[in-house]
Structure 1
Amino acid sequence: MTDTFTHKCPNCGGPLLFDPKDQKFHCEYCLSVYTEAEVTAYEASQRDAHLEKNTDQTYESDLTFTADSQVDEMTVEEKSAFKEASGTDTMDEDTLEGAMELFDCPSCGAQIVTEATTAATYCYYCHNPVVLSGRLSGKFLPEKVLPFAIEKEEAVEKFLAWAKKKWFIPKDFFNKEQIDKMTGVYFPYWVVDAQIDGQMSGLGTTIRIWRIGDIEYTETKQFDVQRQGKISFKELIKNALSKNVQQKMVEAVQPFLLDKAVSFKSQYLAGFQAEKRDIEYEAIQQSIQNELKEYSESILRDTASGYTTLTKLRTDISLDNEKNHYMLLPIWVVTYRSNDQSKKVYYYAMNGQTGKVSGILPISYKRLGLFTFGIFATILAIFLIGGWFI
């Protein structure tokens, strides 16, 4: 059973939101500001008081609702909105039902529609942040979270500054309503540290050519090349969410400043969306090990420089130590659906700490055509005027 809750202000009971600018928790109602330690202490005291009052009951928040009995009651518009928001546009009704779950909002009681991997979201009615704690507990409890360092206003500014450097972008791309859809999401990742013991041997050949008078000399030398060493890999980041089809785009916003990660507390999710992992480490472990070995072989080869050729290479790579950590990393995401006949959807990601942006911008072929025609008309005018004076 998944508990749903909202982090409440100790002063007025309003919802708390995490502010990336000062790394503290703000109440928009009474304007109180709290540190993570203050929020944690307050919630611990609330739980203790509740347990003392109800010693014969197990403390729980709100009850979970299964989607199967509720989905049919959704309107066409609600289903369409869910599909667009969750990237499940191509799902049929039966598959869609299996992808959705419904919960009660702990603040207003309205039903919240989520995907199976959603761990934090907003209530569409009262707009209060909601955390689905059962999805971030037990084996799904992240070890660390890297808090957002860029707030939404700054993220929008950085995104627009990046986009405006490009030419021929459709005007509706910069529509305020479009940009306001930018959403902060904590995505799940496996972070891997490893120690490699590597050896390499090969035949190195050097060739030197010189000329004295009419005679050309060639000197060939061959060497037995041996390399051996220990290689350390730190913070290799791998996706832990199968629906993240735009993973290459997300990888392009690396690196993340993982030294600023903190022990996981659900308070950091307040005001953002979050996903839980659905890819276990065992499923990708072999590919990660192969990748580490390829990196190691490349590093050993690079140390054997200065030879004209390097042949008969033999390598022995062994993995001495391998550790993985489950973390939530901050990414601002925004989508754009073109107004042309294709209705193509473009995805963009921004590193929630550094502001680095990734994504392919759309092109307005109408604007490109007008620009090209303008250049052609200008060149033609210059040619005609020049010919007239001649």
Structure 2
Amino acid sequence: MVIHYKCPSCGADMVFDSETGKLSCGSCGRKDNVEDFPKDFISHVFAEGETVEYHCKNCGAEVLTDADTTATTCSFCGAGVVLADRLSGNMAPAKVIPFKISKEKAMDAFKAWCKNGLLTPKGFMSADRVKSITGIYVPFWLYDLNAKAYVDATCTRVRTYSRGEYIFTETSYYDVHRSVDLNYIKVPADASEKMNDELMDKLEPYEYSELKDFNTPYLAGYIAEKYNYDAQQLLPRVKHRIDSYIDSYISSTITGYSTTSYKNKRIDTKQKQAYYTLFPVWMVCYDYKKSEHTFAMNGQTGKIVGKPPLSYQKIAAWFGGIASITWIVIKLIAWLIGGVF
């Protein structure tokens, strides 16, 4: 089933406005709260069985979508639609962080970011080769975890002292035991097979104070994906992700020793709860010298990640400048030392 949100005033298509946090009509300017939108103006169109084909209510065009898509826009008239059948049952998100940055502001921020690249080619910094910028709600799991860790270690304290002509080194050995109970709240993991995990991790952090209970109007006017991996499938990755934080905490409780050697360390991490959540991401495709570069922007905070091309000429000039400055400094130090002596 496909959902359209129609303006109660003029009947035009409505989309979610990231700046006001409301459904907005592009025709007459009317704005409605997401939670209060009148149900009489929500138009439903049933898709054709299990296929990924439907007919746009606005213009009647036939539109094909990816099987993982849960929200999209009509390629012919631009109407924002939500594929409700793919957001039901186990596929229904619990939470969503709405887009806070508009498409125009995202584009301006990306162009400014391009121009700040000190080692990027000059042509790249002009930022006039953006092929597309797309607002996507990416599926994530947020995990509440409990980790219990048990550690047995041998620690030493070394003391050096002198008596008469002799220097003594005294080493004391200690058996150290630790039992810690740690809770981690809302640890994120990207649940889409299409998205690069490293890229999605670098977009963090998101501000969880702006998490909302999921409501389909937030998706109107954007693309949204459903998860490909359930909470159990991604749990090992999340456990591995917090291991370093657990190790760091354990180390912080064992201080004042010269050395620490672990004899036994056992970490037992269990999932308390997992929330299926949609995070806002602007994806930017940038064409430079017949190759595409993909960048991502946190649709809530504006943080941009990606690998821009590098100018080898600028890199050579930069290292050449550093080498020249180093040579000058060495010569100056040598002259000063020579002048002293």
Q: Report the TM-score range of the alignment, normalised by the length of the smaller protein.
A: 0.7 to 0.9
| Pairwise CA distance, 1:145 | 0.6
Equivalent position to 1:360, from 290, 303, 307: 307
What CA distance in whole angstroms lies between the structure 2 residues aligned with 1:8 and 1:186? Answer: 21
Amino acid at match of 1:184: G
Kindly provide the CA deviation profile for residues 198-244 of structure 1, in whole angstroms up to 9, marking residues without a partner as x. Answer: 22121111223345675322121111112122101011101111121
Identity of aligned residues (%): 29
What CA distance in whole angstroms lies between the structure 2 residues aligned with 1:166 and 1:172? Answer: 9
Q: Which residue of 2 aligns with 1:285?
A: 235
What CA distance in whole angstroms lies between the structure 1 residues aligned with 2:150 and 2:127? Answer: 57
Q: 1:23 to 1:282 in 2, by over 3 A?
A: same
What CA distance in whole angstroms lies between the structure 2 residues aligned with 1:214 and 1:185? Answer: 75
Q: Which residue of 1 aligns with 2:258?
A: 308
| Pairwise CA distance, 1:284 | 2.3
What CA distance in whole angstroms lies between the structure 2 residues aligned with 1:175 and 1:294? Answer: 38
Number of equivalences: 320
Matches within 5 A, 1:139-288: 139-167=90-118, 168-171=120-123, 174-176=126-128, 178-179=129-130, 181-211=132-162, 214-244=165-195, 246-288=196-238
What CA distance in whole angstroms lies between the structure 2 residues aligned with 1:372 and 1:131? Answer: 52
Q: 1:230 to 1:312 in 2, by over 3 A?
A: closer
Q: Secondary structure at the residue paired with 2:264? A: strand
| Pairwise CA distance, 1:249 | 1.2
Kindly provide the CA deviation profile for residues 98-142 of structure 1, in whole angstroms up to 9, marking residues without a partner as x. Answer: xxx332112111122221111111111101111111111111000
1:119 correspondence with 2:70: yes
Contact 2:294–2:306 under 8 Å retained in 1: yes
Amino acid at match of 1:26: S
1:331 correspondence with 2:281: yes
Amino acid at match of 1:306: G
Structure 1: state its 5+ residue gaps: 51-59, 68-100, 380-390
Amino acid at match of 1:63: A
Q: Which structure has more strand as a fraction of its residues?
A: 2
Q: 1:338 to 1:218 in 2, by over 3 A?
A: same
Equivalent position to 1:347, from 294, 310, 313: 294
Contact 1:204–1:311 under 8 Å retained in 2: yes
Structure 2: state its 5+ residue gaps: 325-341
Contact 1:297–1:317 under 8 Å retained in 2: no
Amino acid at match of 1:202: A
- Over aligned residues, Cα RMSD in angstroms? 2.7
Instruction: Using structure 1 for the length normalisation, give the TM-score.
Output: 0.75
Amino acid at match of 1:262: K
What CA distance in whole angstroms lies between the structure 1 residues aligned with 2:72 and 2:205? Answer: 26
What CA distance in whole angstroms lies between the structure 1 residues aligned with 2:106 and 2:203? Answer: 13
Amino acid at match of 2:227: R
Q: Which residue of 2 aligns with 1:18?
A: 16
Contact 1:170–1:363 under 8 Å retained in 2: no
Q: Which structure has more helix as a fraction of its residues?
A: 1
